[in-house]
Structure 1
Amino acid sequence: MSRRSVTEGPRVDELSQAHKALLVLDIDEVVLEFIAPFQELLAEYGARLQADSFRLTGNVRSLSTGAALSGSELDQVTMRLYEDQEARQKVVQGAAESLGRLAGMADIVFLTAMTPSFYPRRRTLLDREGLTFPMIATERSKGAVVAELGARWDGPLIFADDLPPNLVSVQRSYPAAHLIHLMANEAFRPHLPPLPNGALAAADWGEAESLILAILDGKPARTRGAA
């Protein structure tokens, strides 16, 4: 299988380096809202999200029948959201301002598991919002990609994602990474599975920026998510 079938965006060895430190960011629920526009789209399909566990399948039900939408039906809604993302997805509050400041201290790379075929639409959306940092859209393990990035940057590498399994993947593949959990929408927060040991939890970008600055300064960073 060719690389281009599973990944879109610059190759790791093509990325420019201005700083020793690297900040790797997931996009959905970290940089761009996902759950809020997803809920709005569900309403158009006559369905509603009721988060009773940390997953979509089984938690989205038809308003008319009460039946749970199947995985394939949820995939269709997700694909529709990605098709319409330029109109539906908004920048997470505080993200653009924090990244503007952090860009003076660390290189920034977006790493998203969004279906790579939607790369051009997301690139257009991010550029329109002034978030011109390089983006890699991939179906590969995020841990594998972060390990490749870590082999190029000499300073601290910080990885932020809303899904604990992605944090676990990065920790396994690149143990030196500093991990931050960040989730813009609170719907699933009560059902959040345990974070990997040492991962930090940020409630919003204000707290995330403080944690990142502490890591870059070599100071202990501790939050309610710290092990």
Structure 2
Amino acid sequence: MARGTGDILDVSHVVVSDRPLVVCDVDDVVLHFAAPFQEFLLAQGHEFLPRSFNLMGNIVASDTRLEVDIAGVYRLIGAFFEAQESWQLPIEEVVQTLEALSADADVVFLTAMPPLYSQQRRRLLDRLGLAFPLIASEEPKGPMMRRLNAERIFPTTFIDDMAHNLHSVRTHMPDSLLIHMMPDSALHLMAPKPQDDIVRARDWRHAEELIRAHWLPR
């Protein structure tokens, strides 16, 4: 939902150890996004109309019903990310599950958002007890995941709500466990579906079962 800058982000601040690696998207995987963003739009005098899987062309002014132009949509997204600490809440069971997984694996957040708003997200995650390393980037996630893992031979897992991110990671890290996790929002019901060999997690407890099974010797 954010625009790419074309810049290559330095990830050297994230150090992974000789343990399994679990990389999670944030919006609608760790933190609710679709629902609070729609509430935010209403507070700003706008509405999201679920006509297609795209914010562009589907956000209208509440009074006139006129569509917000592309620049206006990006302004609203930026304003939401600026104010995210007042709007976003954790997905059910994510805190407990990632804490349990972190006893045996490195957990990293890879969020598709402008790095400009990373400090707000860092404060919010820390406040919620999710103090795992954070990378905010608009780059494709497959190359980012490969750079994070480097030449390690330990099991890797990637969790996201967007099919194109899961497919990107599969292209660059084909041995990774790919988990599709998303809310049952009107927006997500219209989203492109991941390919059939990508598993869908019902919730975070189910995701933990899948991840731990992936760690077992084969």
**Structure 1 residue 121 corresponds to structure 2 residue 123:** no
Amino acid at match of 1:30: V
Per-residue deviation at 1:77?
1.1
Partner of 1:225: none
Contact 1:161 1:167 in 2 (8 A): yes
Q: How does 1:183-198 map to 2 (within 5 A)?
A: 183-198=182-197
Per-residue deviation at 1:192?
2.6
Q: 2-side partners of 1:43 and 1:203: how far apart?
A: 29
Contact 2:34 2:187 in 1 (8 A): no
Partner of 2:21: 22
Note the residue ranges of structure 1 that are not aligned, 5 or more in a row: 220-227
Contact 2:18 2:154 in 1 (8 A): no
Q: 2-side partners of 1:203 and 1:61: how far apart?
A: 32
My pick for the range that moved more, 178-187 or 156-165, is 178-187
Aligned partner of residue 135 in structure 2, secondary structure:
strand
Per-residue deviation at 1:150?
2.8
Per-residue deviation at 1:64?
1.7
| 1:107-143 deviation line (CA, Å, top 9, x unaligned) | 1111112110111111111111111111111122211
**Structure 1 residue 159 corresponds to structure 2 residue 161:** no
Amino acid at match of 2:55: L
Amino acid at match of 1:172: T
Q: How does 1:55-70 map to 2 (within 5 A)?
A: 55-70=54-69
Partner of 2:130: 131
Identity, in percent, stands at 36
Q: 1:50 to 1:209 in 2, by over 3 A?
A: farther
Q: With structure 1 as the length reference, what TM-score do the two structures score? A: 0.85
Partner of 1:223: none
Q: 1:218 to 1:71 in 2, by over 3 A?
A: farther
Q: With structure 2 as the length reference, what TM-score do the two structures score? A: 0.88
Q: 2-side partners of 1:80 and 1:52: how far apart?
A: 23
Aligned partner of residue 188 in structure 1, secondary structure:
helix
Per-residue deviation at 1:189?
3.2
Amino acid at match of 1:58: G
Contact 1:30 1:182 in 2 (8 A): yes
Per-residue deviation at 1:152?
3.9
CA RMSD of aligned residues (A): 2.1
Amino acid at match of 1:131: L
Aligned partner of residue 76 in structure 2, secondary structure:
helix
| 1:170-222 deviation line (CA, Å, top 9, x unaligned) | 11122222111111352223213120342111232222222222222358xxx
Partner of 1:11: 12
